[in-house]
Amino acid sequence: MRSSAWVVSAALLVGAAVVFGADDGIPAQDVRLLSGSAWLSSAKVGQVTLLDGSTAEVAAQLQVAPPGNVVDVVQAGSTAYAVDKTAGTIRRIDGATFELSTPEAPIPDSRAGLTAFAGENVLYAFDSERGVLVDTDPRTVARRGKEQTLAAQVGTNTTTLDDAKRLWVLENSTGVLTRFDGQERTNAKVTDPGENVVTIAGGSPVVVNVQGRKVITVDPITGTADRTIGLDLRADDTVQVSGSPHDPRVYIVASRGVVHICDLTVGSCEQVIPLTANSKLGPAVEAGKRVFVPDYTTGQVWIIDLAGGKVVAKSQVLTPAGDFQLLARDGVVFFNDPESARAGVIQLDGTVLNTAKYDETNPNKGLTQPVAGQSGQTPPSAGASQPTPPSQANPQSNPPRQTSPRNTPSVTQPPNRTQQTQQPYQSQQPNPNQHSSSPSQQPSNSSSSSSQPPPTPDPLPSLRITANPSAPVAGEPATFNVTASDGQQLSNIRWSFQGGGSKTGAPVQQTWSQEGQYLVSVQARIPDSRETSGSVTVTVGAAPTISVSVTVAPGGRITGGPGNLASCSSGSRCTGEVDRRTNITFRMEPDSTHRIGKWRTPAECAGSTSATCTVRTSTHTESISVANEFEAKPAPTKLTVRVTAATGSSGTVTVRGGGLDARDCAAVAQTATCTYTVTDPDNAVFVSAAARSDSHFAGWTEGPCAGGKADCSFNVFNDTTIAGKFAVGSATFIWLLPMLGLRIPPQAARDKRQREAGI
């Protein structure tokens, strides 16, 4: 249920900044809000939706861009900003009235690289492709101040905003961290050049140097490096980094399927939580002392309890699976698929509340009408035509706005109806093919004017398709983009990939599993609503491979490789070509008469007696040889246990180990002989003698334990006999007799002397 109460309650929202969008289906910034609701983007239909975290119900639904445009949402408190990466514009959404401003382009000609960072009374626009930063007015989105430039190109996840309104930008080519505070900037080299990521943890910036395997804390006042912490990463690990909103703690999700939890206070990243090694994982978010990690391969979310340091739940949020956004706000975790209507809330116990952001059969159904009319749009009225775009001569002029929706017939509703409607999206940008009508161009009722032929439309532009890389290989993603030959803005972009299905929007990624030639087709709409199309044939090369041979020693098999190397039998040699971008873990599996010996090759495993060997194919320049040794198990041996109990005494000898289950050999006033077959001589045998309460153990009289204590261990490499005896009287009673001035019985005295002499 969508409630108009949100028009009032939205004004009460407070919070920090959040950026998340439809670029990769992955949040562009760590989400750190202070209210249990969030704005979610829907690039497929060009809308943003306000979702109530307590009920997972839609509270507002606004049209902010043409369908298919790449849309991000930036939120600061109750105010949100819609960032249209396709058009290169930003629009402000008033949190109290849902009033939507006209699109502004604070950085001219910015497109896919346009990003916004919002905080309390601050808004930065940033073009990551050209390294241009602009301080903008948070109410009008107009530029204020000069453009700031960075000489080096900024990479992914290298820009963030802290709670003190400071913007931090890291240049990977130099390792220099730049801090912007209004119009002032400082620079400090904090890390080595290479792959680095910056995030905010507990209010302070933190840099993760992936190649250097270290975490660097930064002093937020001076902007210089403060402390360096070691990080256990593999050479081929890729990482997703995020910070705790309240505590000095960083979460590093490694591609091999583990989460490193770095405690910046104690300076340790040793806590590791294993997840799965076969999934594409996203950055973690924190809520309610739990950590949530998205799994794009399965469409699930892993939930980790911080106190217990373990996974406590795994929730299915998307079926079928795919990339999605995950964000946390005021103890509430939201998920969002920007390419569909799917979204919802994940509760701390893993319960999932699903919702639809819009009606997929009619996306314009339920659009919200702002309380005071939308900036830059004509409010709907009875008999009124669709809003007219502002003229090119005066792009800032807006159609008249009413002061109250109650004066607008189209939004007059019965008292019990809470939903209001917003007119479907119309472009706010001038159409270059339209011109202001002069009196001579106005329609006339005369026959001469009506007989004039209609104007000839401009020719359709062609579509230019680009791929990065231009020569993709099997198994690796390629990013496809499309532009109009005459530079017109495109919307409603639909792709068709031979052997790969269909996609919408731009840019998009496609991966082919096999080499070959594939047809890529695209259709799009230009501003005058006409459709145009284009296609290109892409040649996909073979994945890089390396030759691997597996030689198995007699006595078992080696498993774990792909294809022909999946299971190589005893005494055989298997060969195959494998993808050199992957790691292979081989395993020795001995038969019943052998045990694991050692690995002979490759070099990284040579001499190891571990059951497994992980081969990193990317580190090898030539063919790889895998070979092993099995060892024959020793033949079974026999153990004879002879237990003698004197008249009136009794006792039991327990035998375990050597491949045997625990078994007893008992004697009562007699001699008992027990025989055991030791199947694993390498495993020590343990014997333990225990007398009944009226008896005592007099000692071992034969075998490897002779003269020793009641508990004894030894290996049975050859047939072995061991003997022990029990006597009358408890051990405590026998030792107390001399102290009481009493005579020890002759037999007991002999036993006592023998024990003291070690016989």
Q: Which residues contact 636 (CB under 8 A, 6 or more apart)?
A: 677, 678, 679, 681
Q: Are 205 and 168 in contact (CB under 8 A)?
A: yes
Cα angle: 113, vertex 115, 120; to 5 degrees? 165
The reported pLDDT for the residue numbered 736 is 53
Q: Are 463 and 506 in contact (CB under 8 A)?
A: no
Q: How many other CB atoms sit within 10 Å of the CB of residue 311?
A: 16
Taking only the tens place, the pLDDT of each residue in 71-83 is 999 988 778 999 9
Cα angle: 390, vertex 395, 400; to 5 degrees? 50
The reported pLDDT for the residue numbered 455 is 64
Residue carrying the six token digits 């009562």: 668
Q: Is the pLDDT of residue 379 over 70?
A: no
Work out whether the CA dihedral 296, 302, 306, 311 comes out positive or negative: negative
DSSP state of 490: -
Cα angle: 360, vertex 362, 368; to 5 degrees? 100
Calculate the CA 248 to chain-centre distance. 20
The reported pLDDT for the residue numbered 251 is 98
Calculate the CA 618 to chain-centre distance. 24
At position 294, the amino acid (one-letter code) is P
Q: Tell me whether residue 102 is exposed, middle or buried, using C-beta atoms within 10 angstroms of its C-beta: 0 to 12, 13 to 18, 19 or more.
A: buried
DSSP state of 350: S
For residues 280, 336, 293 and 317, what is the CA-based torsion angle, rounded to 10 degrees?
A: -90
Interatomic CA distance for residues 178 and 241, integer angstroms: 19
The reported pLDDT for the residue numbered 491 is 94
Taking only the tens place, the pLDDT of each residue in 592-647 is 889 999 999 999 999 999 999 999 998 898 899 999 999 998 888 999 999 999 98
Interatomic CA distance for residues 691 and 674, integer angstroms: 17
Distances (CA, A) of 264 to 169, 206, 232, 261, 554: 21, 9, 15, 9, 52
Interatomic CA distance for residues 420 and 425, integer angstroms: 15
Interatomic CA distance for residues 379 and 423, integer angstroms: 8
b (16+ CB within 10 A) / e for 221-238: eebebeebbebebeeebe
Nearest CA among 619, 591, 586 for reference residue 236: 619
b (16+ CB within 10 A) / e for 317-348: bbeebebbbbbbbbebbbbbbbbbbbbbbbbb
User: How high is the mean pLDDT of the chain?
Assistant: 81
Region label for 511, one of left (φ > 0), alpha (ψ between -120 and 50) or beta (otherwise): beta
Structure token pair of residue 431: 């159409």
At 735, phi and psi to the nearest 5? -75, -25
Taking only the tens place, the pLDDT of each residue in 402-416 is 333 333 332 223 333
Top pLDDT among 590 and 182 is at 590
Instruction: Tell me the helix, strand and coil percentages in the chain, rounded to 5.
Output: 5, 45, 50
The reported pLDDT for the residue numbered 152 is 55
Residue carrying the six token digits 């943003």: 48
Taking only the tens place, the pLDDT of each residue in 484-502 is 988 899 999 999 998 888 9
Sheet holding 290-295, edge to edge: 285-287, 290-295, 300-305, 310-316
Work out whether the CA dihedral 245, 250, 252, 253 comes out positive or negative: negative
- Low-confidence winner among 128-137, 227-236, 263-272, 430-439 (lowest mean pLDDT): 430-439
What's the start-to-end Cα distance of the chain, in Å?
90
Interatomic CA distance for residues 190 and 178, integer angstroms: 10
At position 359, the amino acid (one-letter code) is D
Top pLDDT among 200 and 748 is at 200
Structure token pair of residue 654: 């327990």
Sheet holding 695-702, edge to edge: 671-678, 637-645, 720-728, 695-702
Q: Tell me whether residue 172 is exposed, middle or buried, using C-beta atoms within 10 angstroms of its C-beta: 0 to 12, 13 to 18, 19 or more.
A: buried
Nearest CA among 658, 662, 705, 712 for reference residue 685: 658
As beta bridge partners, residue 699 has 725
Over residues 421-435, mean pLDDT: 43
The reported pLDDT for the residue numbered 432 is 40
Flag whether the pTM goes above 0.85: no
Taking only the tens place, the pLDDT of each residue in 36-82 is 789 999 999 999 999 988 888 999 999 999 998 999 999 887 789 99
Structure token pair of residue 706: 């002779």
Percent with pLDDT over 70 in the chain: 79
Taking only the tens place, the pLDDT of each residue in 647-656 is 889 999 999 9
Q: Are 61 and 358 in contact (CB under 8 A)?
A: yes
Got the DSSP string for 187-232? EEE-S-SSSEEEEEETTEEEEEETTTTEEEEE-TTT-SEEEEEE--
The reported pLDDT for the residue numbered 142 is 92
Interatomic CA distance for residues 318 and 316, integer angstroms: 6
Over residues 315-340, mean pLDDT: 92
Cα angle: 448, vertex 454, 460; to 5 degrees? 165
